Amino acid sequence: MSMADARVIQLVMSLRGQGVTDRHVLGAIERTPRNAFVPDRFLDHAFEDRALPIDCGQTISQPLVVGLMTQLLNVDDRCKVLEIGTGSGYQAAILSKLARRVYTIERYRTLGKEAEARFSKLRLSNITPRIGDGTKGWPEQAPFDRIIVTAGAPVRPDTLLEQLKPGGIAVVPVDNDGGTQTLIRYTRSDDGSLQEDAISKVRFVPLVEGETKAL
């Protein structure tokens, strides 16, 4: 067994102890090499349960948060999923092992292109990445069975929630006053109404509206 294998198994066991109990989610984490998503200078920390810096001043999320959010999303292989905030591509890679298709949007071209190269290298062919402003969602591909936002939204992201199918689930960190967010799970019922459940406090980089200038 390689070092990476032993370390990923240890990580999975630690996540299970902290509430990530869905075996499909744990299996997807186990089969996703986080070392392929972190900058070289952080390789030694790739399998630790912590967020790490990536390019453009952004972060790859903490594995526990990835595990809990993925579990809340309740994805299966019939799901068409939209992710806002591709970042390193790690969360999208995990979703790609559970969903039928993953659409992911990143506003920084540098990050989006790096993530796309990782998806090709790992042969994750059911991920469609795009550079742009994710706050507008992806109207051409809507509606979605699941939507996940991996950046802190200042307010409830109604434009995105309009792209959620009846029976669909969205998981979004929504800002409190003072730099933290509450992780909210939105469930769209078959009659179209939206249920809102506050799950836990989290800390994400901000969801920024608008285009970037060729970054």
Contact positions vs ligand SAH (CB under 6 A): 58-61, 84-85, 87-88, 90-91, 105-108, 111, 133-135, 150-151, 205, 207-209
Exposure string over 73-108, b if 16+ CB within 10 A, otherwise e: bbbeeebbbbbbbbbbbbbbbbbbbbbebbbbbbbb
Which of 2, 14, 61, 120 is an active site residue?
61
- 79 or 148, CB closer to ligand SAH? 148
CA pair distance 64, 71, nearest whole angstrom: 10
Strands 80-84 and 101-106: parallel
CA pair distance 180, 159, nearest whole angstrom: 22
- 85 or 168, CB closer to ligand SAH? 85
**Amino acid letter for position 87:** G
Contacts with 28 (C-beta within 8 Å, 6 or more apart), sequence order: 70, 94, 95, 97, 98
Closest-by-Cβ residue to ligand SAH is: 87
What are the C-alpha distances in Å from 172 to residues 78, 180, 196? 21, 13, 11
- Give the orientation angle of helix 3-17 with respect to helix 23-30, to 10 degrees: 150
- 59 or 200, CB closer to ligand SAH? 59
CA pair distance 99, 111, nearest whole angstrom: 22
To the query of whether residue 125 is one of the catalytic residues in this protein, the response is no
Q: Please, what is the minimum distance in Å from the beta carbon of residue 86 to ligand SAH?
A: 6
Active centre residues (catalytic)? 61
